[in-house]
Amino acid sequence: MSCEPRIGTPMRPVSAHDAVSMPMAPAGLRVGLFGGTFNPAHAAHRAASLLALKRLQLDRIWWLVTPGNPLKDNWDLPSVQERVTFARHVAHHPLIDVTGVETTLGTRYSYETVSRLVERMPRVRFVWIMGADNLAHFARWQRWRGLAGLVPMAVVDRLGDSLCATSSRAAQALAPYRVPEEKAAALADMAPPAWTFLHGLKSPISSTEIRAARRMPAADATGAVPPRP
């Protein structure tokens, strides 16, 4: 299977059942959990995942496509099935699994989802992955301290977000547990709380900007904006 992103190829529809199924993870596997609405998934999600796979020495990454963001208005959010279909098209990598399993688990918050996964797969070494923009607002998340205590975490750098993220309330509270970046490869084996900041990715792409571009008149929209599935 090619590891290159798909450009100009048709998307394969994903069944409703397949979209929310649980990926396989045998004991001892090192799995990154990358949560979000993925509305839409884009190249920066993929780039962040490839960076995490390499720097954290992970076996796989799961994109957890959430039913909705508790901190945002979700009135125009496409279905989980639609977003999983497009995200798989964007990811197109043998080590990236895209799933809407939160729908099956019946969870709404990241803490609840990770708790269920750890409970079901206690011997899988999970690592929570998020962008620097999320760390900046992490203290607003439901039971964020609890999430940090469930699994190690890796924060991926984003253009313009580094200083705000590392000076945020959550980053300051978790500062005693920050792991030097040069030890990132061992993060999955560390007992939480433990987290590191991964530099090297400075993509300006965001789902918010893509959605805004889609609302522009056709003459103003750029070819870089993927079509809505």
Contact 89, 6 (CB under 8 A): yes
Tell me the sheet residues that pair with 36: 65
Q: Which domains does the chain have, with CATH numbers?
A: 16-214 (3.40.50.620)
Residue 227 has a pLDDT of 38
**pLDDT given at position 58:** 99
Of 223, 225, 195, the residue nearest 207 (C-alpha): 225
Provide the whole-model pTM: 0.85
Q: What pLDDT does 228 receive? A: 35
Please tell me the predicted confidence (pLDDT) of residue 116.
Answer: 98
- The pLDDT value given to residue 208: 63
Beta bridge partners of 33: 62, 128
Q: Which amino acid is at 73?
A: D
Residue whose token pair is 């792409």 = 205
Q: Label residue 120 left, alpha or beta by phi (over 0 means left) and psi (-120 to 50 means alpha).
A: alpha
Q: What is the pLDDT along the chain (229 residues), one digit of tens a residue?
A: 445 555 566 788 899 999 999 999 999 999 999 999 999 999 999 999 999 999 999 999 999 999 987 767 667 799 999 999 999 999 999 999 999 999 999 999 999 999 999 999 999 999 999 999 999 999 999 999 999 999 999 999 987 667 789 999 999 999 999 999 999 999 999 999 999 999 987 655 565 665 565 554 433 332 333 433 3
Read off the DSSP letter of residue 76: T
Cα 73 from Cα 208, distance rounded (Å): 12
3-state secondary structure 97-145: EEECHHHHHCCCCHHHHHHHHHHHCCCCEEEEEEEHHHHHCHHHCCCHH
Q: Round to whole Å and give the CA distance between 179 and 221.
A: 42
pLDDT for position 70: 76
